[in-house]
Structure 1
Amino acid sequence: MSETSARLLALLSLLQARRDWPGALLAERLEVSPRTVRRDVDRLRDLGYPVRASKGPDGGYRLDAGADLPPLLFDDDQAIAVAVALQTATTTVTGIEEGALRALATVRQVMPARLRQRVDALQVTTVDRYANRRTTVDSDQLIAIGMAVRAQEVLRFDYASPGATEDEWAPPRKVEPHHLVTWGGRWYLVGWDLDRKDWRTFRVDRMTPKTPTGPRFSTRELPAPDVATYISTRFKGQDQYPCIGEAILQAKASVIAQYADRRAIVEEVTPTSCRLVMSAWSWTGLAATFGMFECDLEFVGPQELKDAATQLAARYQEAVS
């Protein structure tokens, strides 16, 4: 590699590492004159990198975002992290499959042989205990919600109750969105529900965001040190058993919450119905536990829970006949 090319790569790496660089400090780090730094910056601009220069005693350089995405420079650890992330990116987000594969091929193609061998050794297959309840969400939907979180704008959305038709959906929810999180193979939005005046979590795959978004708001403090603590507390105990299922119960959430296991999740669907998520050691035991509540219910899933309920019903029918 020529001395100029190597210096350009070093300059680009430095510009990517921090927001602003004084010209004198860049020259010192590269062991060249300030004039050489100016010439190298012009070369980067010719290659499509939007480098902004500021004048004055404290003048320097900044790598800005441009209209097009120029070639990126990764160190070894960054390149491996990107390759692994691209292989697992499509497990819960739809609409990015082709882009992820093309990006992985592009990154791999420009890697040196020593690094390509390490990446090729990391052929990732995602298998986890939540595979039977994993859901996917649309990338455009995630971006719309993420933009509302970043802009601190009230988010309005339709929220589909499990098993309900579109005509049976509740009025649009109005929420101050706080964080997008993943847990147990699903995407959730953590936000302050303006109608219920409380913190709530919403399954993103059941949300249909509306435009335009609402007014801006000042971020409230979570009832926990951070969002990770809040989520782990919210779903406390749900990952202790291998069988996790949910059902819609035709009873008030406040009533079911009095009798449900402390690890259960109870969420209001309508004033007279609620969603109940529970876990157990076996699917049959879980189905039997749901049946202990004296109200009509509808199993949402997964299929193993529905199959266990069918077997249990046949067993009970045989027992009384």
Structure 2
Amino acid sequence: MLDTSARLLRLLSLLQTPRAWPGSELAERLGVSGRTVRNDIDRLRELGYPVDATRGSAGGYRLGAGAAMPPLLLDDEEAVAVTIALRTAARGAVPGTEETSLRALAKLEQVLPSRLRRRVRTLQAYTVAVPADQPAPAVSADVLTTLVAACRDRERLRFDYLDHAGVPTRRIVEPHRAVNWGRRWYLVAWDVEREDWRTFRIDRIRPRTPTGPRFAPREVPGGDFAAYVSGRVSSAAWRHYARVTVHAPATAVIERINPAVGTVEAIDADSCTLVTGADTVRALAVHLGMLDFDFDVTEPPELVTHLRRLADRYNRSTPAPH
């Protein structure tokens, strides 16, 4: 049987998992009686841990939210994961959180066991982050927190927004998800006045308070918020579009196409249509060549001309065998 202090720590570790624990199961895990479990729960409450209790078949004990942040117990893998995440945040993943992340990181590293500290320092010493080719747009931690809270609480948002041309607009939306794609953050929301889904860059949002009434959640087109954002963001940035007939089954082409690169529609069992785009016709030609399937292109004319030029160049580079 564990002594009282060790047993309390073990009990606290169990309660920090996101589930309700029946008293009988806790007693079995700790090797004690149900009465001892109840006494230990009372001790944790006296130490400031808000342990909630519910009755019924689905009831039990769980750790609730309190007025103050109680100490947390982390296993080895959790401690390493949190340390890595804090280091990433301290490098400016979300501008405005660097100093806070460094303070939390210092506290965590101070109490790490030597075996874990060595693992963390090894990761730090032998991993290198490649600097971004251009600065990431600054996203306010306060704004991000406000937006995700509105998503969680299903409350309408009012905010000022700068579109891609820098024109200010005022929006009323039903926010559903904040999506991180590359170095940017996006809000996926239902635009109330336009009655359609919209994607907003969070660094261009200035929320207005208070938030509005609650709303019923909607199903985003395709059911996948990440795919929706990647498709909308990439297509909005394309300067050149192409509609290509690929002589291969749609399923085979889909395996080689990222949702951010294009969409595939089956024509028959052996061919499909690929709608894709890129910032340059050269990039488009590269994407099509990497499919490794035969294809027909009729538009845009710039792409057709470029592909013919490439074909002539490749033909000249491979003399016919003697």
Whether TM-score is above 0.5 comes out as yes
Distance change (3 Å), C-alpha of 1:55 and 1:207: closer
The number of residue pairs the alignment matches comes to 248
Partner in structure 2 of residue 87 of structure 1: 87
Quick one: distance in 2 between partners of 1:135 and 1:141?
13
CA contact (8 A) 2:240 2:281 kept: no
Aligned residue in 2 for 1:149: 151
- Kept after mapping to 2: 8 A contact 1:92/1:135: no
Does the CA-based 8 Å contact 1:177-1:192 persist in structure 2? yes
1:233 matched to 2:234: no
Distance 1:137 1:100 in 2: 16
Q: RCO higher in 1 or 2 (8 Å CA, sep ≥ 6)?
A: 1
How big is each residue's C-alpha offset from its partner over 1:130-187, in whole Å with a ceiling of 9 and x where there is no partner?
54152121111111111111111221111124564xxx623x1111111101112001
Q: Which residue of 2 aligns with 1:195?
A: 193
- The 2-side partners of 1:235 and 1:29 are apart by 50
Q: Distance in 2 between matches of 1:189 and 1:106?
A: 33
Change (3 A) 1:33 1:125: same
Greater Cα offset, 31-40 or 203-212: 31-40
**What's the CA shift for 1:53?**
3.6
Matched with 1:137 is 139
1:193 counterpart letter in structure 2: D
- Tell me the amino acid that sits aligned with residue 67 of structure 2: A
The alignment partner of 2:120 has SS state of helix
Distance 1:210 1:58, change over 3 A: closer
The residue type equivalent to 2:217 in the other structure is T
**Following TM superposition, by how much is the alpha carbon of 1:85 offset from its aligned partner in structure 2, in angstroms?**
0.8
Match of 2:241 in 1: 261
- So what's the TM-score if we normalise by structure 2? 0.68
Matches within 5 A, 1:286-297: none
Counterpart of 1:93, as a letter, is: V
Preserved contact between residue 92 and residue 186 of structure 1 (Cα < 8 Å): no
User: In the alignment, residue 113 of structure 2 is paired with which amino acid?
Assistant: P
Q: Which residue of 1 aligns with 2:174?
A: 176
Instruction: Tell me the amino acid that sits aligned with residue 159 of structure 1.
Output: Y
**Structure 2 equivalent of residue 12 of structure 1:** 12
- 1:90-169 aligned at under 5 Å gives the runs 90=90, 91-123=92-124, 125-127=128-130, 131-161=133-163, 164=166, 169=168
Q: Which runs of 5+ in 1 are unaligned?
A: 239-245, 247-256, 266-276, 283-321
| Contact kept in structure 2, 1:134 and 1:184, CA below 8 Å | no
| Residue aligned with 1:202, SS | strand
The 3 A distance-change label for structure 1 pair 18 and 102 is same
Do the aligned partners of 2:231 and 2:261 also contact (CA within 8 Å) in 1? no
The one-letter code matched in structure 2 to 1:227 is F
Residues in 1 aligned to 2:35 and 2:12: alpha-carbon distance in whole angstroms:
17
* TM-aligned CA distance change 1:196 to 1:237, over 3 Å: closer
CA RMSD of aligned residues (A): 3.1
Q: In the TM superposition, what is the alpha-carbon distance from 1:236 to its structure 2 partner?
A: 4.6
